[in-house]
Amino acid sequence: MASPWHIAHNAMRGRDHLKGKSIDRGVLKRVWAFARPYRRMILGFLATIVAGSFIGIVPPLIFRRIINVIPKKDFGAIDVLAVVAVGLALADAGSSVVQRWWSSRIGEGLIFDLRTALYDHVQRMPLAFFTRTQTGALISRMNNDVVGAQQALTGTLGTIVSNAMDVAFTLAAMIALEWRLTLLALVVLPAFFIPSKYVGRKLQQITLESFNLNAAMNATMTERFNVSGALLVKLFGSPRRETDEFGTKAARVRDIGVKSALYTRTFVVALTLVGALGTALVYWLGARLTIERTISVGTLVALALYVQRIYNPLIALTSARVDVMTAFVSFERVFEVLDAPRAIDDGANAQELTEPKGRIDFDGVSFRYPAASEVSIASLEGDGQTPLGNAPSDWILHDVSCSIEPGRMVALVGPTGVGKTTFSMLIPRLYDATEGAVRLDGHDVRSLTLASVHAAIGMVSQDAHLFHDTVASNLRYARPDASDEQIVAACEAARIHHVIAAMPDGYDTVVGERGYRLSGGEKQRLAIARVLLKAPAIVILDEATAHLDSETELLVQQALAEALAGRTSVVIAHRLSTIRAADEILVVDGGRIVERGPHERLIESGGLYAELYETQYGGSRVTASEEFS
């Protein structure tokens, strides 16, 4: 039976966004298909609801019988009826427990299935998806909407069936006992709907404002309680100003909470008054009919009990459509993410890249970033009302062709924004070439499985990312089966073991969010150790030594020399001191390779590379043999 609070909660749920909408049969079929493993459980769940509703109408009939046999002084019949009443109470309690068991099995199972399906789908989405998506919106979709979808099956479905059965059985019993009193009991319902509509509209308005304010407070806390945000606040902000601004929002939420409590209480009081009025009318007319011997006293008491039982579910059923539509909105939002196409995925006949040698070929590669509509979801980028663009970006790379032999080091240099990082992202297939082909060991990367491509490649970026976990766990992310000895060997080669060993907890030290407990150079060397542990055939370095001091840069360069030995490497750097030892330097400008060759020859040619070198070092000549010294 729906409680007064539940009915008040239903009344405050917004209806405006559901106007003109109907349940999509396609979504309904898909929901039922998704619930396939739980169909028997759902049928059992519904069966216990029906049984519980039927059991619920019997006690008033038992009490009616007890009252009617009192004048006959039939103690045996009273004893039997009392035992039956107790048995019904136990059966009702057992039915309630079984219902809860069914609903929890179905609900928690469905949450698990939806959440894991979403997580699996999202983490396989292309990198372009994550560059556009709001992380908070995506997490909300995986938490709030998953729980909302679960409520559609175990909460909303169960409540509607329970209310419908309660109303059907109770009305049938009331009409069978005395149809005139039944009509009288129902005539007071309009007196409730008028105030409930007003209260519901008010609750909708203030609840929406509360949701928006809570979202704003969550955004404030998320931005300011991470390490970068906290540092910015401490250096540029004012604690008093921050507290005052946050307090203003929190105070409004407090006031809304008080107002919402009063409106809800008003709603519950109105329902209680309707119930009291209906009961009074039943007793008024029933007493007259009893005096006239038209009905018995027991029948009057039973009808009064039924009146108390019928109002809540009858009123709750008036918002059944809204409840169903609102519940299915969560399913639609979950399916929206599950239906998002994975622009980069394994092909139907994708093959494994076995025993990679490390050869890389760019064959007439041109690239521009795909249109937002191809890689993103509007509702995860902002308000969801602004349509995503259908136009791709301008061309980033133009007809790039080059070959990198196994074991050789090739550097990419050039001004900012000319496509160097984009070039490197096409190798592990974080993006697909728009035209032309990128090949590994002669195979088009689109014909290979993503897992085997990624297994063959390691990357160290400018801002090495570490999880909020121990040093050892961050290293084992690249190789879960690595032994302690292998981890130590990798860290020694990366020139970071002595730093870790000096930490109070050694390799069990938690590095903090994004590794903020470590210095920039320490994070870079840990990232290099992670690559060494993975032992890939190809290593990509994207500004791996940028923003490091000279001493730290030397340590990182020594670690890189170890990491790159015997491996194909692609190095991107603005600081040209890091790439003088490259076997070949590709100079990129305007998305094209405009020069190529070793350091000394490019200096002598007097082109763009020589100009960049002159700008950085003022003509100072350092030979390749001095690299990593």
pLDDT higher than threshold 90 for residue 565? no
Report how far apart, in Å, the C-alpha atoms of 595 and of each of 442, 490, 528, 579, 582 are: 24, 36, 29, 15, 14
> Is 506 among the domain residues?
no
Mean pLDDT of 575-585: 80
Mean pLDDT lowest for which of 159-168, 367-376, 508-517, 525-534? 508-517
Q: What pLDDT was estimated at residue 406?
A: 94
Contact 394, 573 (CB under 8 A): no
Among the listed residues 517, 501, 419, 533, the one whose alpha carbon sits nearest the alpha carbon of residue 466: 517
537: exposed, middle or buried (Cβ count in 10 Å: 0-12, 13-18, 19+): buried
Q: What is the spatial distance between Cα 344 and Cα 128, in angstroms, rounded to a whole number?
A: 10
Structural domain contains residue 512: no
Q: Per residue in 357-401, pLDDT tens?
A: 999 999 999 999 998 888 888 877 765 556 778 888 999 999 999
Tens digit of each residue's pLDDT (9 = 90 or more) over 11-55: 444 444 445 455 667 777 888 777 888 888 888 888 999 999 899
Is residue 348 pLDDT above 60, yes or no?
yes
Own/partner contacts of 220-228, CB < 8 Å, gap of 24 or more, are 220/245, 220/246, 220/249, 222/136, 226/513, 227/512, 227/513, 227/514, 227/516
Mean pLDDT, all residues of the chain: 82
Give the per-residue pLDDT at 577: 67
Average pLDDT over residues 142-154: 75
The first and second tokens of residue 550, run together, are: 């000279």
Specify which residues 542 forms β-bridges with.
Answer: 572
Is 246 found in the same domain as 112? yes
Angle at CA 238, nearest 5°, toward 233 and 239? 90
- Whether 165 contacts 49, CB under 8 Å: yes
The pLDDT of residue 213 is above 80 = no
pLDDT of residue 618: 64
Residue 581: which of 624, 541, 550, 611 has the closest Cα? 624
Regarding whether 33 and 129 lie in a shared domain, the answer is: yes
How far apart, in whole angstroms, are the C-alpha atoms of residue 362 and residue 133? 30
Rounded CA-CA distance 452/353 in Å is 5
If asked whether residues 142 and 272 sit together in one domain, one would say: yes
The answer to whether residue 470 is domain-embedded is no
246 and 365, same domain (yes or no):
no
Task: Please state the domain count of the chain.
Answer: 2
Query: Which DSSP string do the residues of 462-530 spell out, in sequence order?
Result: SS----SSBHHHHHHTT-TT--HHHHHHHHHHTT-HHHHHTSTTGGG-B--GGGTTS-HHHHHHHHHHH
Q: Enumerate long-range contacts of 256-261, CB under 8 Å, 24 or more apart.
A: 256/206, 256/207, 256/209, 256/210, 256/213, 257/210, 259/206, 260/12, 260/203, 260/206, 260/207, 260/210
Residue 281: its pLDDT value, please? 84
User: Which of 338, 366, 389 is the endpoint of a domain?
Assistant: 338
Greater pLDDT, 438 or 143: 438
The residue type found at 77 is A
Range(s) of the domain holding residue 602: 354-377+401-456+536-629
Characterize the bridge pairing of strands 435-440 and 443-444: antiparallel
Angle between helices 4-12 and 297-317 (to 10 degrees): 30
> Dihedral, CA atoms, 377, 378, 381, 383, nearest 10 degrees?
-150
| Mean pLDDT of the 604-615 span | 86
Sequence-ordered alpha helix ranges (H) in 392-483: 420-426, 450-455, 471-476
Q: pTM above 0.85?
A: no
Tell the burial category of 539 from Cβ atoms under 10 Å away from its Cβ (0-12, 13-18, 19+): buried
The answer to whether 381 and 133 are in contact (CB under 8 A) is yes
Tell whether 180 is covered by a domain: yes
Q: Is residue 384 part of a domain?
A: no
Of 527-536, 537-546, 618-627, the one with minimum mean pLDDT is: 618-627
Q: Do 318 and 428 belong to one domain?
A: no
DSSP per position, 47-102: HHHHHHHHHHHHHHHHHHHHHHHGGGT-HHHHHHHHHHHHHHHHHHHHHHHHHHHH
**587-620 burial by CB neighbour count: b if 16+ within 10 A, else e?**
bbbebebebebebeebbeeeebbbebbeeeeeee
Rounded to an integer, the average pLDDT of 547-553 is 64
Work out the end-to-end distance of the chain between its first and last CA atoms, rounded to an integer number of angstroms.
Answer: 80
SS3 549: coil
Res 623: pLDDT: 41
- Assigned token pair, 577: 């001191």
What is the mean pLDDT of the segment spanning 76-102? 90
Query: For the chain, what's the residue count?
Result: 629
Q: Same domain for 323 and 424?
A: no
Q: In percent, how much of the chain has pLDDT > 70?
A: 85
CATH of residue 407's domain is 3.40.50.300
- Beta bridge mates, 413: 587
Under 8 Å CB-to-CB from 573, ≥6 apart: which residues?
Answer: 411, 412, 413, 541, 543, 544, 545, 546, 579
Compute the distance between CA of residue 540 and CA of residue 405 in angstroms, rounded to an integer.
Answer: 14
pLDDT in tens, 299-342: 888 888 888 788 778 777 766 666 677 677 778 888 888 888 88
Q: Are residues 302 and 412 in the same domain?
A: no
User: CB of 595 within 8 A of CB of 608?
Assistant: yes
- Are residues 84 and 209 part of one domain? yes
Distance CA 344, CA 552 (A): 37
Q: Given this model, what pLDDT does residue 128 score?
A: 85
Report which listed range, 65-79, 333-347, 439-453, 490-504, is most confident: 439-453
Q: pLDDT by residue (tens digit) across 242-274?
A: 888 888 888 888 888 888 788 777 777 777 777
Report the CATH number that the domain containing residue 176 is assigned in CATH: 1.20.1560.10
Whether residues 412 and 323 fall in one domain: no
- Asked whether residue 344 is domain-assigned, the answer is no
The answer to whether residue 531 is domain-embedded is no
Q: What is the greatest pairwise CA distance in the chain?
A: 122
Say how far apart CA 601 and CA 624 lie, in whole Å.
Answer: 11
Domain end position, chosen among 314, 338, 362:
338
Identify the helix (H) or strand (E) that includes residue 365.
strand 360-367
Cα-trace Rg, the chain = 35
Structure confidence at residue 628 as a pLDDT band (50, 70, 90)? very low
Band (pLDDT 50/70/90 cuts) for residue 596 is very high
Query: What's the rounded mean pLDDT across residues 70-91?
Result: 88
Query: 104: which 2 tokens?
Result: 């929890």
Same domain, 358 and 332: no
Lowest mean pLDDT among 111-115, 165-169, 437-441, 532-536: 111-115
Q: Which of 338, 367, 392 lies at the terminal end of a domain, its last residue?
A: 338
The reply to whether 437 and 369 lie within a common domain is yes
On whether both 66 and 99 belong to a single domain, the answer is: yes
Q: How far is 606 from 313, CA to CA, in rounded Å?
A: 86
Closest CA to 501 of 534, 472, 467, 469: 472
pLDDT tens digit string along 421-475? 999 999 999 999 999 999 999 999 999 999 899 999 998 887 788 888 899 999 9
Residue that is written with structure tokens 């970068």 in the block = 228
